[in-house]
Structure 1
Amino acid sequence: MSLPKGKHIFGTVKVGERGQIVIPKEARDLFDIKPGDTLLVLGDEEQGIAIAKADVMQEVAIKILKGLGGFKPDDK
Protein backbone atom coordinates (compact mmCIF):
# COMPACT_ATOMS: atom_id res chain seq x y z
CA MET A 1 0.00 0.00 0.00
CA SER A 2 1.48 3.33 -0.99
CA LEU A 3 0.82 6.59 0.79
CA PRO A 4 -0.26 9.81 -0.89
CA LYS A 5 2.59 12.12 -1.91
CA GLY A 6 3.93 14.03 1.09
CA LYS A 7 2.48 11.60 3.65
CA HIS A 8 4.83 9.43 5.71
CA ILE A 9 4.81 6.68 8.29
CA PHE A 10 8.14 6.64 10.11
CA GLY A 11 7.46 3.63 12.31
CA THR A 12 6.96 3.38 16.03
CA VAL A 13 8.92 4.71 18.99
CA LYS A 14 8.94 3.72 22.64
CA VAL A 15 8.59 6.18 25.47
CA GLY A 16 11.49 5.87 27.90
CA GLU A 17 11.25 5.93 31.68
CA ARG A 18 11.82 9.69 31.66
CA GLY A 19 9.04 10.26 29.10
CA GLN A 20 11.45 10.76 26.21
CA ILE A 21 11.14 9.51 22.64
CA VAL A 22 13.61 9.38 19.78
CA ILE A 23 12.44 10.96 16.54
CA PRO A 24 13.36 8.57 13.72
CA LYS A 25 16.35 9.65 11.62
CA GLU A 26 14.29 9.70 8.43
CA ALA A 27 11.87 12.19 10.01
CA ARG A 28 14.70 14.32 11.43
CA ASP A 29 16.35 14.45 8.01
CA LEU A 30 13.14 15.23 6.12
CA PHE A 31 12.11 18.02 8.50
CA ASP A 32 15.66 19.27 9.13
CA ILE A 33 15.47 18.71 12.89
CA LYS A 34 18.85 19.24 14.52
CA PRO A 35 20.11 18.93 18.11
CA GLY A 36 19.13 22.05 20.03
CA ASP A 37 16.07 22.82 17.86
CA THR A 38 12.93 23.79 19.76
CA LEU A 39 9.85 21.72 18.99
CA LEU A 40 6.24 22.57 19.76
CA VAL A 41 4.06 19.71 21.04
CA LEU A 42 0.34 20.08 20.34
CA GLY A 43 -2.42 17.78 21.53
CA ASP A 44 -5.99 16.96 20.66
CA GLU A 45 -7.68 14.51 23.00
CA GLU A 46 -9.53 12.87 20.10
CA GLN A 47 -6.85 12.97 17.37
CA GLY A 48 -3.59 12.67 19.29
CA ILE A 49 -0.26 14.50 19.46
CA ALA A 50 1.49 16.58 16.80
CA ILE A 51 5.06 17.83 16.88
CA ALA A 52 6.26 20.80 14.83
CA LYS A 53 9.40 22.91 14.70
CA ALA A 54 8.72 26.02 16.77
CA ASP A 55 10.21 28.38 14.17
CA VAL A 56 7.86 27.04 11.50
CA MET A 57 4.86 27.51 13.78
CA GLN A 58 6.00 31.06 14.58
CA GLU A 59 6.03 31.86 10.85
CA VAL A 60 2.50 30.45 10.52
CA ALA A 61 1.29 32.48 13.50
CA ILE A 62 2.76 35.68 12.03
CA LYS A 63 0.99 35.03 8.70
CA ILE A 64 -2.30 34.45 10.52
CA LEU A 65 -1.93 37.62 12.58
CA LYS A 66 -1.05 39.64 9.49
CA GLY A 67 -4.13 38.26 7.77
CA LEU A 68 -6.29 39.29 10.72
CA GLY A 69 -4.79 42.78 10.80
CA GLY A 70 -3.34 42.17 14.25
CA PHE A 71 0.28 42.58 13.23
CA LYS A 72 1.96 45.94 12.64
CA PRO A 73 4.44 46.14 9.70
CA ASP A 74 7.33 47.03 12.03
CA ASP A 75 6.70 43.94 14.23
CA LYS A 76 8.44 41.59 11.76
Structure 2
Amino acid sequence: MKAEIKDGKFMGSAKVGPKGQIVIPKEVRDMFDISPGDTIIVLADEKRGIAIERFDTFNQIADDIFSGKAKELYPEHTEEDSISFAKSIRSMKGEINDE
Protein backbone atom coordinates (compact mmCIF):
# COMPACT_ATOMS: atom_id res chain seq x y z
CA MET A 1 0.00 0.00 0.00
CA LYS A 2 1.35 3.39 -0.97
CA ALA A 3 1.06 5.88 1.90
CA GLU A 4 -0.69 9.09 0.97
CA ILE A 5 -2.59 12.03 2.36
CA LYS A 6 -6.22 12.23 1.26
CA ASP A 7 -8.83 14.62 2.63
CA GLY A 8 -6.47 15.67 5.43
CA LYS A 9 -5.97 12.08 6.58
CA PHE A 10 -2.95 9.79 6.36
CA MET A 11 -2.54 6.05 6.55
CA GLY A 12 0.85 4.43 6.39
CA SER A 13 3.08 2.15 8.38
CA ALA A 14 6.22 2.33 10.47
CA LYS A 15 8.39 -0.47 11.77
CA VAL A 16 9.51 -0.65 15.37
CA GLY A 17 13.29 -0.83 15.59
CA PRO A 18 15.31 -2.94 18.02
CA LYS A 19 15.33 -0.10 20.60
CA GLY A 20 11.56 0.37 20.34
CA GLN A 21 11.91 3.45 18.15
CA ILE A 22 9.68 4.36 15.24
CA VAL A 23 10.10 6.91 12.48
CA ILE A 24 7.15 9.22 12.01
CA PRO A 25 6.47 9.21 8.25
CA LYS A 26 7.58 12.37 6.44
CA GLU A 27 4.04 13.07 5.26
CA VAL A 28 2.85 13.17 8.88
CA ARG A 29 5.81 15.27 10.04
CA ASP A 30 5.02 17.76 7.28
CA MET A 31 1.28 17.68 8.00
CA PHE A 32 1.84 18.52 11.69
CA ASP A 33 4.99 20.61 11.30
CA ILE A 34 7.09 18.21 13.39
CA SER A 35 10.80 18.97 13.12
CA PRO A 36 13.97 17.35 14.46
CA GLY A 37 14.41 18.29 18.11
CA ASP A 38 10.67 18.80 18.73
CA THR A 39 9.29 17.12 21.83
CA ILE A 40 6.22 14.93 21.52
CA ILE A 41 3.90 13.40 24.08
CA VAL A 42 2.79 9.80 23.72
CA LEU A 43 -0.66 9.02 25.10
CA ALA A 44 -1.78 5.41 25.52
CA ASP A 45 -5.06 3.82 26.48
CA GLU A 46 -5.42 0.03 26.51
CA LYS A 47 -8.84 0.25 24.87
CA ARG A 48 -8.44 3.25 22.56
CA GLY A 49 -4.85 2.91 21.38
CA ILE A 50 -1.86 5.22 21.06
CA ALA A 51 -1.79 8.91 20.15
CA ILE A 52 1.18 11.17 19.53
CA GLU A 53 1.02 14.96 19.88
CA ARG A 54 3.54 17.77 20.01
CA PHE A 55 4.39 18.92 23.53
CA ASP A 56 3.66 22.52 22.52
CA THR A 57 -0.02 21.63 22.01
CA PHE A 58 -0.35 20.30 25.55
CA ASN A 59 1.69 23.17 26.95
CA GLN A 60 -0.85 25.59 25.42
CA ILE A 61 -3.68 23.60 27.05
CA ALA A 62 -1.90 23.94 30.41
CA ASP A 63 -1.48 27.69 29.83
CA ASP A 64 -5.20 28.02 29.08
CA ILE A 65 -6.19 26.04 32.17
CA PHE A 66 -3.92 28.10 34.42
CA SER A 67 -5.34 31.32 32.92
CA GLY A 68 -8.83 30.38 34.15
CA LYS A 69 -10.29 28.67 31.08
CA ALA A 70 -10.60 25.20 32.64
CA LYS A 71 -14.43 25.17 32.72
CA GLU A 72 -14.58 26.50 29.17
CA LEU A 73 -12.20 23.83 27.86
CA TYR A 74 -13.40 20.88 29.93
CA PRO A 75 -16.89 21.60 31.29
CA GLU A 76 -17.39 17.93 32.20
CA HIS A 77 -14.41 17.98 34.61
CA THR A 78 -13.95 19.77 37.89
CA GLU A 79 -11.59 22.71 37.94
CA GLU A 80 -9.39 20.78 40.39
CA ASP A 81 -9.11 17.88 37.92
CA SER A 82 -8.22 20.25 35.09
CA ILE A 83 -5.56 21.98 37.20
CA SER A 84 -4.14 18.60 38.19
CA PHE A 85 -3.98 17.70 34.48
CA ALA A 86 -2.22 20.99 33.68
CA LYS A 87 0.29 20.38 36.49
CA SER A 88 1.05 16.91 35.12
CA ILE A 89 1.73 18.46 31.70
CA ARG A 90 4.12 20.94 33.29
CA SER A 91 5.86 18.19 35.25
CA MET A 92 6.52 16.37 31.97
CA LYS A 93 8.53 19.34 30.75
CA GLY A 94 10.94 18.81 33.63
CA GLU A 95 11.24 15.11 32.75
CA ILE A 96 11.77 15.93 29.11
CA ASN A 97 14.53 18.44 29.88
CA ASP A 98 16.25 15.90 32.13
CA GLU A 99 16.59 13.29 29.35
* TM-score, reference length from structure 2: 0.59
Q: Distance in 1 between matches of 2:14 and 2:22?
A: 6
Cα drift, residue 64 of structure 1? 3.1
Q: Does 1:40 align with 2:41?
A: yes
Amino-acid identity (%) = 50
Aligned amino acid, residue 34 of structure 1: S
Structure 1 residue runs without a partner (length 5+): 71-76
Q: Does 1:67 align with 2:73?
A: no
Corresponding position of 2:16: 15
Runs of 4+ in 1 over 3 A off after TM superposition: none
Q: Distance in 2 between matches of 1:44 and 1:61?
A: 21
Corresponding position of 1:30: 31
- Matched pairs, number: 66
> Bigger CA drift: 27-36 or 9-18?
9-18
Structure 2 residue runs without a partner (length 5+): 1-5, 71-78, 84-99
Secondary structure of 1:9's aligned partner: strand
Higher helix share: 2
Aligned amino acid, residue 60 of structure 2: E
Aligned amino acid, residue 65 of structure 2: I
For the aligned residue pairs, the C-alpha RMSD in angstroms reads 2.0
- Report if aligned partners of 1:10, 1:24 keep a CA contact under 8 Å in 2: no
